[in-house]
Amino acid sequence: MDRILSPRPLIYPLPALVVATYNEDGSVNAMLAAWGCPIDSDMVGICLSSDHKTVENIHREKAFSLFLTTEDTIEASDYFGLVSGYKDPHKLETVGYHSRDGEKCHCPIIEEYSIGMECVFDHEEPDTGMIYGKVLAIHAKEEVMDANGHIDLAKAKIVSFDGESRTYRRLGEPVAVAYQSGNRFKK
């Protein structure tokens, strides 16, 4: 017999995305979001509560950046998810992180993350809180790249948010080749 559980976000792995925005005085805010996903090859969607400082900032600035939490950035990312910018307007300074402006749009690039995206606000769904952003550029540090110009997930040490155990989890080793493993069933 299956156990029947209440609905919850159970499509794994969930990301641990940092959404960075500019505050009205030009300082940088950041929050953590697990409810985010690709929508198209150059479009992301993040589901944000309307009471977040991040949402106010996106509405005003029409731009944001996204970063993938890695094993060495967990503590800062978790803090960004624990405390609102309304309470700590200088979250980046609190954790000792640094930023510069984006190359393609006016959004903060947080130096300490190895993989990030510059996004401009595209549209939103007020009913669901989904905010859609067009990705203008991806930033990846040299040390997370492989010899073929792809991001090496093993080198990047990206973590996933596990809402069941409320932990951040390391991604595992590859177990099979995609787009090939099912070949023997082809007719």
Ligand X SMILES: Cc1cc2nc3c(=O)[nH]c(=O)nc-3n(C[C@H](O)[C@H](O)[C@H](O)COP(=O)(O)O)c2cc1C
Residues forming the site for ligand X (CB under 6 A): 29, 31-35, 47-49, 52-54, 78, 81-86, 161
Torsion region of 148: left, alpha or beta (phi above 0 gives left; psi -120 to 50 gives alpha): alpha
- Minimum distance between the CB of residue 51 and ligand X, rounded to whole angstroms? 7
Whose CB is nearest to ligand X? 81
Q: What is the DSSP letter of 151?
A: B
Q: Please, which residues have CB within 8 angstroms of residue 5's CB and are 6 or more apart in sequence?
A: none
- Minimum distance between the CB of residue 35 and ligand X, rounded to whole angstroms? 3
CB-nearer residue toward ligand X: 88 or 111: 88
- Minimum distance between the CB of residue 103 and ligand X, rounded to whole angstroms? 24
The kind and range of the H/E element at 58 are helix 53-61
Nearest to 158 by CA among 175, 171, 173, 145: 171
- Minimum distance between the CB of residue 108 and ligand X, rounded to whole angstroms? 13
CB-nearer residue toward ligand X: 75 or 146: 75
CB-nearer residue toward ligand X: 83 or 154: 83
Query: From CA 15, how far away is CA 68, in angstroms rounded?
Result: 7
Is the N-terminal amide bond of 89 cis, ω within 30° of 0? no
CB-nearer residue toward ligand X: 78 or 111: 78
Q: What is the DSSP letter of 4?
A: P
- Minimum distance between the CB of residue 27 and ligand X, rounded to whole angstroms? 12
CB-nearer residue toward ligand X: 82 or 154: 82
